[in-house]
Each structure stands twice: as structure tokens, then as C-alpha cells.
Amino acid sequence: MSAPSIAQELVERITANVERVILGKRQAIQLTLLALLCEGHLLIEDVPGLGKTMLARSIARSIGCNFSRIQFTPDMLPSDVTGVSVYNQKTQEFQFRSGPIFAQIVLADEINRATPKTQAALLEAMEERQVTVDGTTHAMARPFLVLATQNPIEYEGTFPLPEAQIDRFIMRINLGYPERRHEVAILDSQSDHHPIEDIAQVVTAEELQGAQQAVKSVYIDDQIKGYIVSLTSATREHPDVYLGASPRGSLALFKTARAYAAVHGRDYVLPDDVKALARSTLAHRLIISPSARIKDVSPETVVEETLSSITVPGARVKN
């Protein structure tokens, strides 16, 4: 089976399974799976009650991975996330008791309610796939996905995510309110029990890791690589931007474009793949200048302007 077929078939199986719980949000589900295929992490910024927790639990059940939910609060300590070394009087040695971050699918709920010190406890785990406690390094299980949520409306009692934290999320998405017909279907589906109880495993963790490797074989032309770099560079030079996208933003767009192409049955990346993912991968990395914020300029607007100003590379024959 070709690399695109492996990724496409796996994503379709998981999507169909998750859609039994999350109705009418196929695009959001597939963007979440793109992050998983790219071995990245996802930030969902939306109001409460739209199914963010159910999305994470449904994906974990579909893959057969262990799931952990961390409810972030202002009084939470870094050790509450990573774990702590406890002295065992019988063995007269310190033993490490792992924290909730040691799961394959981790829901970091309302991440911006924790202090920056506690938020920083996630940095090593998200980037290096390991946690260091008391000088000892503990590796994370694979696959590993941090799915973080934050409420964009209620800012009382919250702490803005540091730039280093935001930059580690490969994408930022929102679920949005369901359509009327889907909301009626939600009422019907939960009349006697929650559909999450019926979700069964449809792929194995080994199959997912195979798809993650398959995505890396998708061809991306040098012209498209140049197009990606031009887009991220343009965000740094935009007059309304105080801080533009970092090279990690270019990598995020590069990785997700390959996964997007594979999921759509292609072993090569098109410029349209890059354009389709630019907003989700770049907008959250931009810091708008104070003068532009007064004029209600949003990061999404800057990305759209950047896309319209950069010339899309034309096709050429590969030798």
C-alpha cells in the first residue's frame, strides 16, 4: 500500500468513528488527526461546551491509547503535571511517581488558567518527548499528543500563554457551534446514554506510527519549500506585526502540508495544500503590534493578506 493510501485509510477510519460522537465537525476532526500524523500538538481555542474533551477522548479510544485529562488551575504546581520523586522508607531510595503528562493523549484543559511556571512544565515534554525531574530524564510513550484548550472570551483569572508555549503547538483550531440539524442529532444521540460509551478501537498505535512514517515520504518540491519560507518571512515584515512566525512555523506548515496531501490521496504537495493550512499553523504565532490591535487587526487577517501578496509557485517538470 502506498504512503498516501496508508494515511488516507487510517484517517478515514478514525474520522468515521469519532463522528459518532462529534457531529458535523469533520474538518476539525481531520485537522486534529493531521497534528497527530505530524507528531505535533494542538491548541483548541473555543468557548466551553462544544465537545473539546469528547474529541480528545474519542480519538484516544479510536487508537487504543491511554488518555489523561489535566484541569489547569492557578494553584497548580509543575510537579502536579510532571510527577514527583517520593522517598521509599523500605528501599531507602527515591521513587518517581509519574504525573498525568505521562499519557499518550493528554487533554490540557483551560491551559491558560495555570501560572507561566506550571505551563512551562509542558515545554520539555512537548518538544523533546521527555520529562526531567530531579536530574533524571523519563521518556514519553509514543504516540504522544497534547491537546490543549483555552477560552477566548473569559480572561479573568487567566495567564497569557508564553510565546515559547504557543510556538510548540503545530496548529490552533476552533470547533464552533454546531448547525441546527447537528444539534438536534446530538440531543437524540444522548437521549439514553452518551455515544462515547460505544466508541471502540479502530486502529492500533502501531498502525498510527506507520502512518506517521509514511507521511514523511510525501514529496515536496523546492519551489513549494521556498513558498512556505516566503509566507513566514512575510509575516515578520508585515507592518501590523510586532513578532512574526518563527522557523518552527515554517516547519509546522511543511509537515502539515505533507500530511494534508497524503490524507487527500497524493504523494506530492500542492501550493493549495500550503494555503489551506497557513491560517491554522501561522496565525497563533503572530503578535500584533499595539497600534494595529487598536484598529482590530487580527492575526488571521495578516495571514490572509500575506497569502494574497506572495506569488504562488508555478508548475515545472521534475528531472
Q: Which amino acid is at 279?
A: R
Residue 49: partners with Cβ closer than 8 Å, 6 or more residues away = none
Which of these ranges, 2-11, 73-82, 269-278, 281-290, has the smallest mean pLDDT?
2-11
Domain co-membership, 20 together with 164: yes
Q: Which domain holds residue 269?
A: 218-309
Distance CA 272, CA 295 (A): 30
48: pLDDT confidence band, cut at 50, 70 and 90?
Answer: confident
Tell me: do 119 and 257 sit in the same domain: no
Q: Is residue 257 part of a domain?
A: yes
C-alpha dist (Å) from residue 190 to 16, 20, 48, 183, 195: 18, 11, 18, 11, 7
Q: State the Cα–Cα distance between residues 105 and 239, nearest whole angstrom.
A: 39
Residue 133, pLDDT score: 87
Answer yes or no: do 49 and 166 share one domain: yes
Percentage of residues of the chain with pLDDT beyond 90: 63
Question: Can you tell me the mean pLDDT for 277-304?
Answer: 92
Residue 139 forms part of a structural domain: yes
- Give the mean pLDDT of 268-275: 94
| The pLDDT value given to residue 94 | 84
Strands (E), the chain: 42-45, 67-71, 83-88, 93-98, 105-109, 130-133, 136-139, 145-150, 171-173, 241-243, 287-288
Kindly state the average pLDDT of the residues 159-169.
87
Residue recorded with cell 474533551 = 53
Do 21 and 155 sit in the same domain of this protein?
yes
CA separation for the pair 24, 177 (Å, rounded): 10
Number of domains in the chain: 2
Check whether residue 222 and residue 207 sit in a common domain: no
Final residue before a domain boundary, out of 213, 240, 269:
213
Domain check: are 90 and 12 in the same one? Answer: yes
Q: Is the pLDDT of residue 85 over 90?
A: no
CA distance linking residue 67 with residue 61, whole number of Å: 8
Q: Is residue 206 part of a domain?
A: yes
Cell reading at 19: 463522528
Instruction: Say yes or no: 197 and 246 in one domain.
Output: no
Q: What is the pLDDT of residue 319?
A: 47
- Identify the bridge partners of residue 287 per DSSP, sorted by sequence position: 243
